[in-house]
Amino acid sequence: MRRKRKLMAAQKEAAAERRAKVRPMLKRIAREPVTDNRSRAKRAEETVLSHADEDYSIDYAITDLLVDLRHLCDFKGLSFVDHDRTAHDHYTEEVVEERHAGGAV
């Protein structure tokens, strides 16, 4: 049991170190204008990977980030479902807009 706790503590510490290194990159990403869905996807991928432990697959990292966002909403008294619904509406608009402009989805 002690070994497992030490491993978990080491993993948390490593994740915190990675987040500290990634914060400047995320600030840069947030400042860069995003005008197309490929750029939006790349920004999301960088964010997800910055959140993930090294041995996470992208699938697991996305799920883990979504779980953490749900916890954040709970903590702040926000409705994750409402934000998810709004995000889906924005996503749909962006996909339709890019299709009409002749771009890739």
Residue 75 amino acid letter: F
Tokens of 11: 């993993």
Q: What is the pTM of this model?
A: 0.63
DSSP characters for 78-97? --HHHHHHHHHHHHHHHHHH
Residue 105 counted as domain residue = no
| CA nearest neighbour of 97 among 38, 36, 27 | 36
- Digit-coded pLDDT (tens) for 79-104: 999 999 999 999 999 999 988 887 55
Residue 91 counted as domain residue = yes
Residue 77 counted as domain residue = yes
What's the structural domain count of the chain? Answer: 1
- Digit-coded pLDDT (tens) for 2-56: 666 665 666 677 666 666 666 666 666 566 677 789 988 988 888 888 877 777 7
